[in-house]
Amino acid sequence: MGYLETVIADVNKKYAHQPEFLQAVKEVFESLEPVISKNEEFYKKEAILERIVEPDRQIMFRVPWVDDEGNVRVNTGYRVQFNNSIGPYKGGIRLHPSVNLSIMKFLGFEQTFKNSLTGLPMGGAKGGCDFDPKGKSDREIMAFCQSFMTELCKYIGADTDVPAGDIGTGAREIGYMFGQYKRIRGLFEGVLTGKGLSYGGSLARTEATGYGLLYMTNELFRCHNNTLEGKTVVISGSGNVAIYAAEKAQQFGAKVVTMSDSTGWVYDKDGIDLSAVKEIKEVKRGRISEYKNYRPTAEYHEGRGVWTVKCDIALPCATQNELLIDDAKALVANGVTAVCEGANMPTTIEATKYLQANGVWFVPGKAANAGGVATSGLEMSQNSERLSWTFEEVDAKLQGIMVNIYHNIDNAAKKYGFEGNYVIGANIAGFEKVVNAMIAHGAC
């Protein structure tokens, strides 16, 4: 067995109970074969793969909080600080009942390569809690966030680790967490990104992941002598990433016909009415089924199903492993041209391979959704210089970063003889920068 296979086998054995983490490792490591095989002895001697696959540290803690009936409730909080070779740890906080160490580790591992691709100095981390924000009152959310930060604040800081939003964590939660950090540590500093505009947040951060996904998709089409104008787009999810992906897709002249949540999905043949979705999700915090109240001609279906709708472009923007092999087959049978991942690892490895084998342009999340963390990096820069840039300035930088990522991953794929394979390109391009820094720092 070669070095790469040996490390994959060891990780599979050691972390057999962490399926999402193993999936992320397999996808990245298999892509690295062309790089590792060129200089196997060197990577082996330096134990690069063993080092890059093991987080710097994994923090787990109790999160007690009091509900509206006066009962004490307890959740498990996490911060996995994966790799800080190229900058302070950076990555979101996920609040969802499914959160566990496997999911935290897969997200922190992916984040390390994603942050490298942005070209900004940010290491990789992820945090979260198995707390379910659904159905909680505003006071309960605040009580939870304060308790979560009471412990987390010991491990983070503007120059050490800078968390941000992810599933279940938006501007409201970041506000409560920032307030608690400031109160306990006595520091007003850029310790979180995705902050409100009145206390150091960046314009365009809310829109950044979705907009960035479409800037990437647009560049992909442009480089294939094609455009987004008139294309039919299916989107899953109806949260932060999905909403602003839909908004930018519409601005590019495409027609978005689906959105979903964990209960069901809507199909609107006339094109999704985004003001309705924003009101349901951002104002009322309601369910996507309510969309029919705004657009009676639209269809609502329980369960999953957006990938059965005929489209040119599919944008999974909800969660991991939401696009399975049968979905990939349905998309190909319906003539899809491109799949670009807004979520982290939404497509299974089997589905990814099927799409690629059938000529679909496939851009993985660590490249396609990097606009969110890139704009978090821009928020950190603004906080450091104690200035705020205009929406246009931030948006222009975001566009530049996404176009640059596209060309970097495209070139890396070409350099190693895998033209058009953006999975290989993204993994190699992300890996090379992190490894250069790791080597420079010696055995640590």
How far apart are CB 116 and ligand NDP at their closest, in Å?
A: 15
Q: Residue 166 or residue 268: which is nearer to ligand 2IT going by CB?
A: 166
Secondary structure (3-state) at 76: strand
Binding of residue 118 to ligand 2IT (CB under 6 A): no
Choose between 162 and 272: whose C-beta lies nearer to ligand 2IT: 162
Cβ-based nearer residue to ligand NDP, 48 or 257: 257
The least distance separating ligand 2IT from the CB of residue 271, rounded to whole angstroms, comes to 28
Query: Does position 193 bind ligand 2IT by CB under 6 A?
Result: yes
Alpha-carbon dihedral of residues 26, 30, 35, 41, nearest 10 degrees?
A: 70
336 binds ligand 2IT (CB under 6 A): no
Please report whether residue 319 would count as binding ligand NDP according to CB under 6 A.
yes
Asked whether position 240 contacts ligand NDP by CB under 6 A, the answer is: yes
Distance from C-alpha of 165 to C-alpha of 262, rounded to nearest angstrom: 19
Q: Interaction with ligand 2IT in 129-168: which residues (CB under 6 A)?
A: 164, 166
- The β-bridge partners of 162 are 90
Contact between 373 and ligand 2IT by CB under 6 A: the answer reads yes
Task: Give the one residue of 160, 262, 289, 358 binding ligand NDP; rule: CB under 6 A.
Answer: 262
| Residue 317 found at the interface with ligand 2IT (CB under 6 A) | no
3-state helix, strand, coil in the chain (%, to 5): 50, 15, 35
Interface residue with ligand NDP among 209, 218, 232, 427 (CB under 6 A) is 209
Provide the minimum distance between the beta carbon of 49 and ligand 2IT in the complex, in angstroms, as a whole number.
23
Span interacting with ligand NDP, options 49-57, 182-190, 239-247, 380-388, rule CB under 6 A? 239-247
Beta bridge partners of 234: 258, 314
Alpha helices in 186-279, H assignment, sequence order:
205-222, 240-251, 274-278
Here the tokens at position 386 are: 């104690």
Q: At what angle do helices 422-440 and 391-415 cross, to 10 degrees?
A: 100
Sign for the CA dihedral angle at 102, 401, 119, 155 comes to negative
The partner in contact with residue 133, picked from ligand 2IT, ligand NDP, none with C-beta cut-offs of 5 to 8 angstroms by kind, is none
The residue number with the shortest CB distance to ligand 2IT is 92
Residue owning tokens 């006071």:
139
Of 335-394, binders to ligand NDP (CB under 6 A) are 342-344, 369, 372
- Does position 167 interact with ligand NDP (CB under 6 A)? The reply is yes
Region near ligand NDP per CB under 6 A, out of 68-76, 196-204, 250-258, 316-324: 316-324
Question: Rule CB under 6 A: is residue 322 a binding residue for ligand 2IT?
Answer: no
Supply the residues annotated as catalytic. Answer: 126
Q: Answer whether 372's CB lies under 8 Å from 380's CB.
A: no
Q: What is the size of the binding site for ligand NDP (CB under 6 A)? A: 22
Tokens read off for 316: 């999974």
What spatial distance separates the first Cα and last Cα of the chain, rounded to whole Å?
26
Spatial distance between the Cα atoms of 374 and 364, rounded to a whole number of angstroms? 16
Cα–Cα distances in Å, from 78 out to 102, 104, 292?
11, 7, 38
Spell out the residues 6+ positions from residue 296 whose beta carbon is closer than 8 angstroms to its own: none
Instruction: Report the amino acid identity of residue 41.
Output: E
* Sequence letter at residue 206: T
User: Does residue 84 touch ligand 2IT according to CB under 6 A?
Assistant: no
Looking only at residues 253 through 312 of this chain, which bind ligand 2IT when binding is defined by CB under 6 A?
none
**For tokens 């996904």, what's the residue?**
213
Contact footprint for ligand 2IT (CB under 6 A): 90-92, 111, 114, 164, 166, 193, 344, 372-373, 376
List of residues contacting ligand NDP (CB under 6 A): 165-168, 209, 237-242, 261-263, 317-319, 342-344, 369, 372
